[in-house]
Amino acid sequence: MFQNQQITKDTFYVGVNDRQKNKFENMIPLPCGVSYNSYLIIDQKIALIDTVDISMGDIFIDKIQSQLEGRVLDYLVINHMEPDHSGSIRLIRKYYPDLVIIGNSKTLSMLDGFYGVDTLTKEIKDGEILSLGTHKLEFHFTPMVHWPETMMTYDQTTKVLFSGDAFGSFGTLDGTVMDTNLNVERYWDEMIRYYANIVGKYGAPVQKALQKLTNVDFEIICSTHGPVWKEYVSEVVDIYDQMSRYEGKEGVVIVYGSMYGFTELMAETVAQGVSQAGIKDVIIHNVSKSDSSVILQDIFKYRGLIVGSPTYSNELYPEVESLLRKIEIRGIKNRMFGYFGSFTWAGASVKRLSTFVETMKWETAEISVEEKQGLKADNYQACLDLGRQVAKMVKRPVVKKEHC
């Protein structure tokens, strides 16, 4: 029934779109949905590369059977065991009981742990090659991008890199899967949002993987989420390189919490100072309205970050505190930071923000602003000065360093 889209000769897309799920991993909003990508290579032997979320398993099976036209699957290659990609493994086994599952030692351990599957498996080593006939599959281990078992599969014959979650993006594939047939503009921020929220902690492993890939002559990237990249391969790799080096662009993100508008006025004033110093990209987020996944996307995107919070029960505003914890978990580096806060009778927010930046070891503005109750003339000027100072820090030339 299905007419699957062809990627190269003998390689077909059999993935699915999920327009129903509200939040990825029950945390990250999916306003544009998400795709679960899977691929078939048809040769003397037939290999399936990754599966899809079990919620879409029936469509997935129909797409595979439509392409095989009565032939059977010989191999399932598992690049990543996260359940949105491995969830249909037991279902596949019901239809193809003689299928051999290919994975590394960590993959096969998880396969047994998640699904109780421990038969008809083949453990492969880093750099090992599996022949399907004409097609030769070469396996490259990329641990902690972003799970310990992750790997990539390279088809030497067609120069296609099946990259697992790496180079992935949120967003469904609407009518086609190849970037050559898509308006890709809507995927760039969704790729950064995906990286910031899913892969962001693992900059060093991503750098190691990118270094490893310098010796792999790939022309097409088939990720497990988002478009198949052919025309924009270099741009996609550059985004991952920049993100994993924590090299933000020239711009300042201002994040604040406010209950009655006093801290918000401080944020607006700080933004004015940033703009006066010549920064054009000034992004303001109210933590009570902006989802944290979008805020993190912008923090990864830009070098400057200024955070403001009122004191709340002698602590930070709760949503600000939550965001700071997310930043700490991801270990974001190389940001230019400033902070401000307000209070009514006892101030605590500025002190907590100073502790946060000491933990992050970021370069910090000499100025911080703390206001009691409504904004006064002297602190209005101090907020302008804070914005200007962070902007000047951001505008300094960046000295590139090797990632360690």
Evaluate whether 263 touches 308 at the Cβ level (below 8 Å). Answer: yes
Residues 27 and 65 in one domain: yes
Per-residue pLDDT tens for 3-20?
889 999 999 999 999 999
- Lowest-pLDDT range, 95-99, 237-241, 394-398? 394-398
For residue 193, the tally of other CB atoms under 10 A from its CB is 25
Evaluate whether 318 touches 287 at the Cβ level (below 8 Å). Answer: no
pLDDT above 60 for 401: no
Beta strands in 16-134 (DSSP E): 16-18, 23-24, 28-29, 34-36, 39-42, 46-49, 75-77, 100-103, 121-123, 129-131
The residue among 268, 338, 339 whose CA lies nearest residue 309 is 339
pLDDT above 90 for 39: yes
Provide the residue type at 301 as one letter. K
Residues 208 and 68 in one domain: yes
Residue 2 has what pLDDT? Answer: 80
Per-residue pLDDT tens for 143-163?
999 999 999 999 999 999 999
Average pLDDT over residues 75-93: 97
Residues 238 and 288 in one domain: no
Residues 219 and 332 in one domain: no
pLDDT band at 399 (very low <50, low <70, confident <90, very high): low
**402 occurs within a structural domain:** no
Helix (H, G, I), strand (E, B) or coil at 372: strand
Distance of alpha carbon 103 from alpha carbon 136, whole angstroms: 16
Return the structure tokens found at 360.
Answer: 């992050």
Q: Give percent of the chain with pLDDT exceeding 70.
A: 99
The residue among 160, 181, 193, 202 whose CA lies nearest residue 11 is 160
Task: Look up the pTM and report it.
Answer: 0.94
What's the CATH number where 94 sits? 3.60.15.10
Q: Distances from the Cα of 13 to the Cαs of 40, 254, 341, in angstroms?
A: 6, 41, 51
For 389, the domain range is: 249-393
pLDDT, mean over the chain: 95
pLDDT above 80 for 386: yes
Residues 240 and 254 in one domain: no
Residue 223 has what pLDDT? Answer: 98
Half-sphere exposure of 74 (CA within 13 A, CB side): 11
Residue 344 has what pLDDT? Answer: 87
**404 occurs within a structural domain:** no
Helix (H, G, I), strand (E, B) or coil at 66: helix
Q: How many structural domains comprise the chain?
A: 2
The last residue of one of the domains, among 244, 270, 288, is 244
344 CB-near residues (< 8 Å, 6+ apart): 311, 372, 373
pLDDT band at 374 (very low <50, low <70, confident <90, very high): confident
**Strand pairing of 34-36 and 5-8?**
unpaired
Residue 400 has what pLDDT? Answer: 60
Return the structure tokens found at 311.
Answer: 């004191």
pLDDT band at 404 (very low <50, low <70, confident <90, very high): very low
Angle at 97 between CA 94 and CA 98, to 5 degrees: 160
Average pLDDT over residues 28-46: 98
Q: Could you tell me which residues are beta bridge partners of residue 179? A: none
Residues 187 and 282 in one domain: no
**206 occurs within a structural domain:** yes
Residues 285 and 237 in one domain: no
Q: Give percent of the chain with pLDDT exceeding 90.
A: 93
Q: Could you tell me which residues are beta bridge partners of residue 284? A: 254
Helix (H, G, I), strand (E, B) or coil at 321: helix
What's the CATH number where 300 sits? 3.40.50.360
Per-residue pLDDT tens for 171-190?
999 999 999 999 999 999 99
